[in-house]
Structure 1
Amino acid sequence: NRLLLDLETDLFATCCYVDVDMEEGSAWYVRAGHLPPVLRHPDGRTEVPESEPGPPLGVIRQTDFPMSPLRLQPGTILALTTDGLVESVEVDIEDGLNRLAAGLAGSDPSHLGLVADELLTEANRSDDVALLLMRFDGMDVLPSRESWTVWRVPEAVRHARRYTRRALRSWGVADHTDAALLIVSELVTNALVHTDGQVRLDLTLIHRRLRIAVADNSPRTPIKPTNIGWEATGGRGILLVEAMSDTWGTVPVSGGKQVWSELSLD
């Protein structure tokens, strides 16, 4: 909303944003002048949850966007769409949402691609249409998690390494300690040297895949250097993280960022 207003244009956008906790089967959603999600419960019942929307993005600077909860049981389908699917000259939005809900109720939830094809045949082709379907199946194995706030002390990196070593030992994956400790050292060092405020280390293990994440208060994304001389005293941290990781990246989190790395332990 702030971004569109700061552009000082006449542009605006509607939005529905859903944040799903896959472990708990819970979700929060927020609407900015957009259609609500439509739910199909495991027993075939459908629901268009009632919620208070905020205005479209880019219209009012000082405004609220209320959050509303959702509870998902294994087998629940969540549908998000644009008004091109449910509104036309002949059909108003409320009737269109009811038609969408009826289509979901009579569908086979095991084949979402076929469900999407059936729903899109009813779309008004004179307008843009977007459709997103998600089936929540629950989780057979819950992740193992550990989180620790890194103290800004001279031995902070050593403490972070020791915390990581203990977590890996308790999870029975101590044979993969060396690579994990190197990644923790580099990510924690970067956060302490280049940012201020709190630094948090998060470790997650699920299906023999280890995720190491370090969050800080700076929104600045780390830049991978393209060329480093032999005499350089810095700049190799991200290159080491990339070399030791199966994949890595960065995401914005609460006004700052989280730099993460994943390792396969197979």
Structure 2
Amino acid sequence: AGAATIMGQMRTAVRAYAVEGHPPDVVVARANRLLAGMETDLFATCGYVDLDMEEGIARVVRAGHLPPILRHPDGVAEEMVVEGGPPLGVLAEAEFPMTEAGLIPGTLLVLLTDGLVESSRLRLEEGVRRVCDVLAAADPVDVGGVADELVGGVGRRDDDVALLLLRYDGQGDRPMRSHWTVWRVPNAVLHARRFTARTLRSWGVVEELDEALLIVSELVTNAIAHTQGEVGMDLTLSADRLRIAVNDGSPRSPVKPVWVSWESTGGRGLLIVEATATAWGSVPLSGGKQVWAEIPWRRGS
């Protein structure tokens, strides 16, 4: 019961730190300090993978846990080489290095606990080899079938088993991205609009340009007027939409006014963004936030 309680607390902590926008190594390090500060002699292992599905990049952090296993499209299955740290709760100031791996379409990523590969009758190395053999012979198209083969092909176990599989299929069109650091000068919004116009025209975005410039004006104005520190703008063009995001150093989420009088000189920015974009929102980032908006886009429109 005590171990289950600790595990639940750690899962909640990891999720909370991840939602705040921290990178994987920071997420695991903060969860480790939290557990180390609790009045318990228990610890927990952790395998954390952050996946960029558009770029095909897996960022992995290990805390006393088994590394992921990759099944490549050519059938070769192998453990990822991932430098690890100690289990959570052992050393408060432990370091947890992050390892990046590129995934090509057709790759299977497998996360598992040692209950699947180790028992009193099975050495860990032999268990991992068996998993790799099953993956090499499996049909990666049927991920559920692969999971059934892995779980059902070992026999009696001494411990619980957790297994997670993901097949990365890639994307036909890689999104185009561009970043701009907004200068805190009197003409900051003008410079941001000019950068946006140049970038979108080079990407072939024409009919949506006026809407994009209006959103940029409002988001950048809000960031400059209501926050301190650096402001950045990110443009992302995918197959069907344009995303405009402005990052600032304030963790306070923007609040849309319920009502604005005709005499007011401000307060309409988010109302304009909401009326112009198909979707908008705010997400926390390390030490600040990102306010984003999306508008639809069709190639050749």
Measured after TM superposition, the shift of residue 201 of structure 1 is 0.9
Q: What do residues 176-214 of structure 1 show as CA deviations (whole Å, max 9, x unaligned)? A: 123222222222222222322221111111213111111
**Aligned-partner residue type, residue 61 of structure 1:** A
Q: 1:40 aligns with which of 71, 89, 110?
A: 71
Aligned residues: 265
Q: 1:249 aligns with which of 252, 261, 281?
A: 281
CA–CA distance in 1 between the matches of 2:159 and 2:258?
48
**Aligned-partner residue type, residue 257 of structure 1:** K
Q: What do residues 207-254 of structure 1 show as CA deviations (whole Å, max 9, x unaligned)? A: 131111112233x15144473353666554344434433333334444
The answer as to whether partners of 1:85 and 1:122 remain within 8 angstroms in 2 is no
The residue that corresponds to 2:112 in the other structure is 81
CA–CA distance in 2 between the matches of 1:249 and 1:90?
53
The answer as to whether partners of 1:2 and 1:61 remain within 8 angstroms in 2 is no
CA–CA distance in 2 between the matches of 1:58 and 1:232?
54
The residue that corresponds to 1:53 in the other structure is 84
Relative to the length of structure 2, the TM-score reads 0.74
The residue that corresponds to 1:172 in the other structure is 204
Task: Using the TM superposition, name which of 37-46 and 98-107 deviates more.
Answer: 98-107
- Cα pair distance change 1:155/1:140, threshold 3 Å: same
The residue that corresponds to 2:259 in the other structure is 228
Task: Using the TM superposition, name which of 235-244 and 139-148 deviates more.
Answer: 235-244
The residue that corresponds to 1:203 in the other structure is 235
**Aligned-partner residue type, residue 76 of structure 2:** R
The residue that corresponds to 1:66 in the other structure is 97
The answer as to whether partners of 1:5 and 1:59 remain within 8 angstroms in 2 is no
Q: 1:141 aligns with which of 173, 192, 197?
A: 173
Computed over aligned residues only, the root mean square deviation of the Cα atoms, in angstroms, reads: 3.0
The residue that corresponds to 1:5 in the other structure is 33
CA–CA distance in 2 between the matches of 1:241 and 1:114?
46
Relative to the length of structure 1, the TM-score reads 0.83
CA–CA distance in 2 between the matches of 1:102 and 1:162?
56
The answer as to whether partners of 2:175 and 2:237 remain within 8 angstroms in 1 is yes
Q: 2:149 aligns with which of 94, 103, 118?
A: 118
The residue that corresponds to 1:160 in the other structure is 192
**Aligned-partner residue type, residue 198 of structure 2:** R
Task: Using the TM superposition, name which of 103-112 and 127-136 deviates more.
Answer: 127-136
The residue that corresponds to 1:96 in the other structure is 127
SS in 1 for 2:204: coil
SS in 2 for 1:175: coil
Identity %: 57
Gaps of 5+ in 1: none
The answer as to whether partners of 1:211 and 1:263 remain within 8 angstroms in 2 is yes
Q: 1:18 aligns with which of 46, 49, 55?
A: 49
- Cα pair distance change 1:176/1:24, threshold 3 Å: closer
- Cα pair distance change 1:56/1:143, threshold 3 Å: same
Task: Using the TM superposition, name which of 120-129 and 1-10 deviates more.
Answer: 120-129
The residue that corresponds to 2:248 in the other structure is 216
